[in-house]
Amino acid sequence: MPIAVLLITDRLEQSEKLERLLSMWGPCDVVDLRRPLDGGVAPYRLLISDVDLSSRIAVEAVRDRLAKVRRKGTPYLCLLRDHSPRLKIQANAIGASAVLPADLSAKSLLDEIGRILNPEGQAPIQQRFVAASAAMADLLSAATEGRPLPVAAIEGSVEAINRAADDRDLGAWLDMVWNHDDATYQHCLLVAGLAAAFARALGFPEKARKLVTSAAVLHDIGKARVPLAILHKRGKLTAEEFAIVREHPQIGYEMLLRQGAFPHEVVEAARSHHEYLDGSGYPRGLQADDISDLVRMITICDIYAALIERRSYKAPMEPEEAYAVLVGMGAKLDADLLRVFSSVVLTA
Ligand SMILES: [Fe+2]
Ligand SMILES: [Fe+2]
């Protein structure tokens, strides 16, 4: 069940990252401390403040907002920007049930929130999903900001996704992905979940499964450099915008290559996942012989994911319909792999 979260902040302009992260639990309302509180989707299951508590006025303002929305037993997480004991005391005085540094990594923050919301522990698949999402958050922000990609976080996410595939509950995975309202996360986690299940269905050994899932997690990393205004555009792209989107395989390839920490197959999948066996794909118009099985798998998962994705403005396709579209692509996709893929996505 989605969990409504309220974030109280005094730096609205910087709250997007945190909001995006919190939205994986469910709807997240953001309140600007400088404005009065209105409506929202209360009751909230979790309250969070990201406010500089060194000012007395700010402390009183947070206290005031909390008094309006907090119910008995609702956890309140207070994020602090420095570690002074005075601020900690301040946080406890306004009733914080937990105090954490505001600059905590996405993964640690989500782990902590998971503990606060569900001290008895979550179902394994949810834990895996939370771990994979947190890693995806670290990965996408590093890619967007041009920092080195977090290799350990990526490995952690691949491991979580592969173990989720072992649970053979692709449906539960997809439901959790669909709850997530950020399109890029949704797409990458969807492709990764499908690819992990695909590799498992093909009976691949652990090492090959790792490669396939890593390639899926990273396949669109080049999109982190495509302006959001283009990526999230609802209408048809102009020829110019389309040309920019089509640069993402090459950009991703160069990012991964430059860092030098990723297997050749993974780097190659970032560059070639839009190639088709009949030579009609991009960026290089490769022919079948030049396209590895791993890349062929990612391409199938990528197209299928795009068809079943849920967006506020378009109805998702049913699995059967989406699969029929893949079959209809004929010589562009690998027919043998596609046959196996049907056992992954179509429940008889
Ligand atoms: Fe792509
Ligand atoms: Fe993609």
Q: Note the pLDDT tens digit of each residue in 147-173.
A: 999 898 899 889 989 988 887 777 778
CA of 220 to the centre of ligand 1 (A): 5
- Centre of ligand 2 to C-alpha 295, Å, is 12
Looking at the fold, whether 282 and 135 belong to one and the same domain comes out as yes
Assign 327 a pLDDT band (cuts: 50, 70, 90). Answer: very high
- Give the integer Cα–Cα distance in Å for 193 and 198: 9
Rg over CA atoms, the chain: 22
Output the CA 273–ligand 2 centroid distance in Å.
Answer: 8
Q: Which two tokens stand for residue 151?
A: 């290799």
Q: How many domains does the chain have?
A: 2
Rounded CA-CA distance 223/144 in Å is 9
Rounded to the nearest angstrom, the distance between the alpha carbon of 249 and the centre of ligand 1 is 6
| 28-32/76-80 β-pairing | unpaired
97 shares its domain with 144: no
Q: Is the pLDDT of residue 123 over 90?
A: no
- Clarify whether residues 289 and 188 are in a common domain: yes
Closest ligand to residue 183's CA: 2
Rounded to the nearest 5 percent, the helix, strand and coil shares of the chain are 60, 5, 35
DSSP state of 273: T
Residue 348's pLDDT is what? 46
Token reading at 206: 């652990």
Mean pLDDT of the chain: 87
For the entire predicted model, the pTM comes to: 0.71
Q: End-to-end CA distance of the chain: give it in Å, rounded.
A: 27
Stronger pLDDT, 226 or 262, i.e. the higher one:
262
Say yes or no to pLDDT of 134 above 90: no
Per the domain annotation, does 274 fall within a domain?
yes
| CATH number for the domain that contains residue 137 | 1.10.3210.10
| The pLDDT of residue 195 is above 60 | yes
Token digits of residue 11: 């730096």
Q: φ and ψ at 162, to 5 degrees?
A: -65, -35
Ligand 1 mean position, distance from CA 294 (Å): 15
Q: For position 120, what pLDDT does the model report?
A: 62
In this structure, the chain runs to a length of 348
Q: Tell me how far the alpha carbon of residue 289 lies from the centroid of ligand 2, in angstroms.
A: 22
| Percentage of the chain modeled with pLDDT above 70 | 92
- Range(s) of the domain holding residue 163: 124-345
Flag whether 118 is in a domain: no
182/339: higher pLDDT: 339
pLDDT higher than 80, residue 310: no
Binned at pLDDT 50, 70 and 90, residue 339 comes out as very high
Q: Which of 96, 129, 87 is nearest to 111 (CA)?
A: 129
265 touches 211 (CB < 8 A): yes
Distance (angstroms) between ligand 2 centre and the Cα of 115 equals: 32
Q: Tell me the CA–centroid distance for residue 219 and ligand 2, in Å.
A: 6
CA of 242 to the centre of ligand 1 (A): 12
What's the CATH number where 80 sits?
A: 3.40.50.2300
Would you state the pLDDT for residue 294? 98
